[in-house]
Amino acid sequence: EVTDHSALNGWYYDESMNRGNAISFGALSGAPLEDVQIEGCTIVGGYHKAILIGSGPSKSGLKRAGANNVRVKGNTVLDCAVGFGGLVATNVVISTNTITGTGDLIKSGADCDLHTVSANILNGDATSGASTGVTSNESSNVTVSANTINGARIGVFFSDNGLTTARGGAISGNTIIDCGQI
């Protein structure tokens, strides 16, 4: 259980790193990490992202190699700015998690492919102005299904940011309650 925003992968870190992620993983360069599972964790009070998938330190200037075949299941994330975020990650399944927070609860960032977001309970904060249940930004083949999204400013948000390449995705069977806009 991580209860201090100054924890990174279970270790206390120097604030000058300015990362603030409870769990962060992903190859910096070379071959991506393979077959990662995060199951049954409880993360409380994350300063930045509770779990950052497929990322290396953003200040390094190195091309991220990311992560493949990731499973994030059965976790509880409470009072975090962002629940789960992904950068340069392929074949990611995020399911049966409970997330409460003020920012993007689940986010597929740039260069993600084959993300499945299903059967999660997502409780946002519509008053924060940043709360989104599921965000897919410049990602391909993202499926959002059978989630319960409550109280977020936006339930599900897909964006290609004006890219000329077609990006696929599907939204189906979700229950969206008391969200400001969808």
Is residue 56 predicted with pLDDT exceeding 80?
Answer: no
Contacts of 61 (CB under 8 A, 6+ apart): none
Q: What is the pLDDT of residues 13-29, one digit of tens each?
A: 333 334 467 777 776 66
pLDDT at 150: 94
Q: Do residues 140 and 115 lie in contact, with contact meaning Cβ atoms separated by under 8 Å?
A: no
pLDDT at 161: 67
Q: What is the pLDDT of residues 102-155, one digit of tens each?
A: 888 998 877 788 889 999 999 988 777 678 899 888 788 889 999 999 998 889
- Please state, in angstroms and rounded to a whole number, the distance separating the CA atoms of residues 162 and 149: 27
Is residue 61 predicted with pLDDT exceeding 80?
Answer: no
Q: Which residue has the higher pLDDT, 83 or 73?
A: 73
pLDDT at 96: 97
- Please state, in angstroms and rounded to a whole number, the distance separating the CA atoms of residues 141 and 72: 18
What percentage of the chain reaches a pLDDT higher than 90?
22
Q: Which residue has the higher pLDDT, 112 or 57?
A: 112
Report the 10 Å Cβ neighbour count for 181.
10
